[in-house]
Amino acid sequence: MTGPRIAAVTSPFSPGDLVVYPAHGVGQVTDIETKQAGGQSLNVIVISFKESRMTLRVPLQKVKTSGLRNVLTKRAMSAALATLSEPAIKGRGLWNRRATEYAAKINSGNAVSIAEVVRDLHRSPSDQEPSYSHRLLYEQALERLTHEVAAVEKIESGDAVAKLEGILNAA
């Protein structure tokens, strides 16, 4: 049950803004609503994720703690992409521990951390075939970074993938 639209809510986001939710990636704010739950009014930001066809409602009180943020500026994205050119850090220790660390970096929503995962898990065609879990983590990190690059640079996802792979292959 959607209540009336509210204009005077103090929200750092407005309908139409592109945002990053750490656990889901890039989405677009579609509305700010008032929901009734248990006799209480709750102001929520409605975010639509086109790629996954999902809608998320984040209470305004939880915006800061949820990690919801605007997409990066071009300058900040350039700094994140510079990470891809650095030498990969080959992991030591057990794969399951490293995989847990990589998953935490991906879900942090931090573009530099996600770029580190992409860089460290990237394999050239001449390398041996990575494990299934390795490939899944790489694809998840690449997808998150791709969508944010596409949003920041206002390009298609395919062009963003090509850009990222070009940087990785040149390193």
Q: Is residue 6 part of a domain?
A: no
Give the containing element (helix H, strand E) for 83. helix 74-85
Q: Is residue 96 domain-shared with residue 134, that is, in the same domain?
A: yes
* Separation CA 17–CA 80 (nearest Å): 21
Average pLDDT over residues 54-76: 92
The contacts of residue 111 (CB under 8 Å, 6+ apart) are 72, 76, 77, 80, 145, 148
The 10 Å Cβ neighbour count of residue 59 is: 14
pLDDT for the residue 8 = 46
The better pLDDT of the pair 69, 36 is held by 69
Domain end position, chosen among 50, 70, 90: 70
Q: Is residue 128 domain-shared with residue 144, that is, in the same domain?
A: yes
Q: From residue 50, give the alpha-carbon distance in Å to each of 7, 86, 114, 171.
A: 25, 32, 20, 32
Q: Please state which of the ranges 23-27, 123-127, 156-160 shows the lowest mean pLDDT.
A: 123-127
The dihedrals phi and psi of 58, each to the nearest 5 degrees, come to -115, 120
- Tokens representing residue 29 in the block: 């704010």
- If pLDDT is split at 50, 70 and 90, which confidence band does 169 have? confident
* Separation CA 74–CA 111 (nearest Å): 12
Q: Is residue 78 domain-shared with residue 66, that is, in the same domain?
A: no
The better pLDDT of the pair 2, 122 is held by 122
The 8-class DSSP code of residue 22 comes to: T
- If pLDDT is split at 50, 70 and 90, which confidence band does 30 have? very high
User: CB of 63 within 8 A of CB of 56?
Assistant: no
Burial label for 147, CB within 10 Å (0-12, 13-18, 19+), is buried
The 8-class DSSP code of residue 60 comes to: G
Average pLDDT over residues 109-116: 94
The better pLDDT of the pair 145, 126 is held by 145
Q: Is residue 42 domain-shared with residue 109, that is, in the same domain?
A: no
CATH (domain of 101): 1.20.58.1290
Reply yes or no on whether the pLDDT at 6 is more than 90: no
pLDDT for the residue 9 = 52
pLDDT for the residue 127 = 76
Give the containing element (helix H, strand E) for 77. helix 74-85
CATH (domain of 38): 2.40.10.170
Q: Is residue 79 domain-shared with residue 113, that is, in the same domain?
A: yes
Number of domains into which the chain is organized: 2
pLDDT tens for residues 119-142?
999 987 667 888 899 999 999 999
Domain that holds residue 59: 18-70
pLDDT for the residue 170 = 85
Q: Is residue 113 domain-shared with residue 164, that is, in the same domain?
A: yes
pLDDT for the residue 52 = 84
Q: Is residue 163 domain-shared with residue 84, that is, in the same domain?
A: yes
Average pLDDT over residues 69-91: 91
